[in-house]
Amino acid sequence: VLYITGRNGVGKSTLLSAVADYAVDIAGKVTLDDKLKEAYTEKDWQSLVCRLGQHNRLQFPIKVSDLLMMAYYRQRSS
């Protein structure tokens, strides 16, 4: 779990989008455990890096803690 704070507009969401590979117009390299992102298969990367954006469109009421638990257990069972 990662916690990032900062003022509005400093790039917190952009940073996380780049790491999760959602932002395509970002310069630089992303590494995890001293390996470039490109060294991972897409499936392996997605099993290690997950992103829940601040604007989601869930169609049912759910607590954040329950949503995170569901994501955690989905990763462990796949």
pTM comes to: 0.55
* Strand ranges for the chain from DSSP E: 31-32, 35-36
Name residue 59's beta-bridge partners: none
Is the pLDDT reported for residue 78 higher than 60? Answer: no
Backbone angles phi, psi at 34, to 5 degrees: 65, 20
**pLDDT score of 76:** 62
Q: What gap in Å lies between CA 4 and CA 13, rounded to an integer?
A: 9
**pLDDT score of 56:** 65
Question: pLDDT for 63-76, tens place per residue?
Answer: 888 877 877 776 66
DSSP 40-67: S-HHHHHHH-----SS---SS---HHHH
Amino acid identity, position 58 = L
Question: pLDDT for 6-61, tens place per residue?
Answer: 999 998 888 888 877 766 677 788 888 899 988 999 888 888 887 766 666 777 78
